[in-house]
Amino acid sequence: MDKNDKKVSVVRCENYGKSQVYEAVKRSVELLGGLGQFVSPGQSVFLKFNLLCGAAPETCIATHPDAVYAVAKLLKEYGCNVLMGDSPGSGLPYTKAVLKKAYAETGYIEVSEDLGIPLNYDTGYDRVMAPDGILVKRFSVIKPAIDADAIIVVSRAKTHSLTYLSGAAKNMFGVIPGLEKPLYHANYQSAEDFGKAMIDLNEAMKPKLQVMDAIIGMEGDGPHSGTPRKIGAVMASGDYNAIDVATARLMSIDPRRVSTIAAAVERGYLREDFSDVAIVGEPLEGLIVEDYKRPSTYYVPRNNSDSRMRSFISAIKPHILADQCIGCMKCMRSCPVKAISAVDEKPSIDYDKCIRCYCCHEMCDDHAIALERS
């Protein structure tokens, strides 16, 4: 596919189920010209899903296993050598035991067994240079993503408290090994800088094809503590920015507010009015969820004042709900600036150090951290 082709295919898909999701994914890829536009038979393909943490499919925290199944089956039928995997979120070490547990909880082991396609358990990683990077010139990247001939990404349409959208561009953050992730949050603390770093990462890794699981997304304070919300679509694109623009629109999020998309516009990868994003298949208008709940941190500017936006975000703090906290300390391990410490075997947040990255909120399995405005 031409590098400048910003085509996004949209196919209506009302519910999960292996056969119907497979048909929807197959149709979405056909609308782009078929798999041959992106990969060749015999190539090694790393199929990267969104594995924030191990979670049941109905929670919408990870890419649904039926969507993973559909893309993997298409690739296998086409003659590719597929390896599936991801590195879980910033509060988890990148170990074989963590991967095995997370794969089981999300249903990916069943997908692997059904299709005879392996999951990745190699926990090695290496440095990848980013010669075109603006903020980041090299990344730590897991081995299967480095070794593959092509990377294909299958994401879940979710809100995100920092970037507003957890879509294709943000999904690539999963190639950074687990406990290395906080270093990037520490170095690129604002949503704007973190979005720019994610563009640097995607340009370094150059994924070939994006598939978006937007059948049921997550609304509210995603990417972990939000709630499921039906959208009813499967999308595909060769361009990670274009598919994020379409995803944001389905979720009634202004694409200009999404930090990764704003960074792409700034670099000339997208037109400012997004007129270069072409929709084929189902019109977006019939699938847009008008009352999709945005994250608590979502800022609608009344003017062009960056200081007003920073003030709004800085007032929204992670707050530990003592009656729900079990003292696992995952939040402490995920904090990039060590703003969380243990007091009487429970976490305590130092707000003078807190950078409002919301990693603690993102990684809390017990929903014991809320985002509250001071």
Tokens of 209: 């094809």
As a whole number, mean pLDDT of residues 55-83 equals 97
Mean pLDDT lowest for which of 66-80, 150-164, 279-293, 356-370? 356-370
Report the DSSP pairing between strands 227-237 and 7-12. antiparallel
Query: Where exactly are the structural domains of the chain?
Result: 7-286, 306-373
Query: In this model, does residue 306 exceed pLDDT 60?
Result: no
In this prediction, residue 1 has a pLDDT band, given cuts at 50, 70 and 90, of: very low
pLDDT at 143 over 50: yes
Task: Give the pLDDT band of residue 230 (cuts 50, 70, 90).
Answer: very high
Residue 135 has pLDDT above 50, yes or no: yes
Residue spans of beta strands (DSSP E) within the chain: 7-12, 44-49, 81-85, 125-129, 138-142, 150-160, 164-166, 209-219, 227-237, 278-281, 316-320, 340-343, 346-349, 369-373
pTM for this one?
A: 0.93
CATH 3.30.70.20 fits 306-373, yes or no: yes
Q: Does residue 374 register a pLDDT over 80?
A: no
**Fold of domain 7-286:** Rossmann fold (3.40.50)
Question: What whole-number distance in Å separates Cα of residue 269 and Cα of residue 141?
Answer: 23
**Is the model's pLDDT at 4 over the cut of 60?**
no
pLDDT in tens, 346-373: 999 999 999 999 889 888 888 899 988 8
| Cα separation, 197 vs 191, whole angstroms | 10
| pLDDT 10s digits, 327-341 | 999 899 889 999 999
The b-or-e profile of 328-364 (16+ CB within 10 A means b, else e) is ebbbbbbbbeebbeeeeeebebeeeebebbbbbbbbb
Q: Give the mean model confidence (pLDDT) for residues 24-48.
A: 98
Tell me: pLDDT of 300 over 80: no
Average pLDDT in the chain: 93
**Is residue 170 a contact partner of residue 160, using CB atoms and an 8 Å limit?**
yes
